[in-house]
């Protein structure tokens, strides 16, 4: 083999090695990105769960307030607590 053939083979091998390293770097970056997205998803799922609980509590409170008003019971914060007899 002549010198230029060795040089060409070396260039091809280096190009393959560089391409392999670049591909590995892309895979590692994608892995980090996936991990970050999974953490974000977990955080958002937890936030959604807390908001749903809060909404359920507030809906229950509103229903209780409405029921209390129908029964003539005053609502805390609106006026002193007392029961109105009908």
Q: What is the pLDDT of residues 2-58, one digit of tens each?
A: 998 999 999 999 999 999 999 999 999 999 999 999 999 999 999 999 999 999 988
**Please, what is the Cα angle at 31 between 35 and 21, to 5 degrees?**
160
Distance CA 68, CA 77 (A): 13
> Global pTM?
0.56
How high is the pLDDT of residue 86?
62
How high is the pLDDT of residue 60?
87
pLDDT, greater one: 80 or 37:
37
Nearest to 61 by CA among 76, 72, 49: 76
Tens of pLDDT, residue by residue over 53-73, are 999 988 888 888 888 888 888
């Amino acid at each position: 083999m002549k010198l230029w053939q060795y040089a060409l083979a070396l260039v091809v091998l280096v190009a393959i090695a560089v391409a392999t390293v670049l591909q590995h770097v892309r895979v590692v970056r994608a892995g980090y990105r996936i991990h970050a997205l999974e953490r974000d998803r977990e955080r958002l799922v937890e936030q959604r769960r807390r908001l749903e609980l809060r909404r359920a509590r507030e809906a229950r409170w509103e229903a209780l307030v409405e029921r209390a008003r129908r029964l003539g019971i005053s609502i805390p914060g609106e006026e002193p607590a007392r029961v109105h007899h009908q």
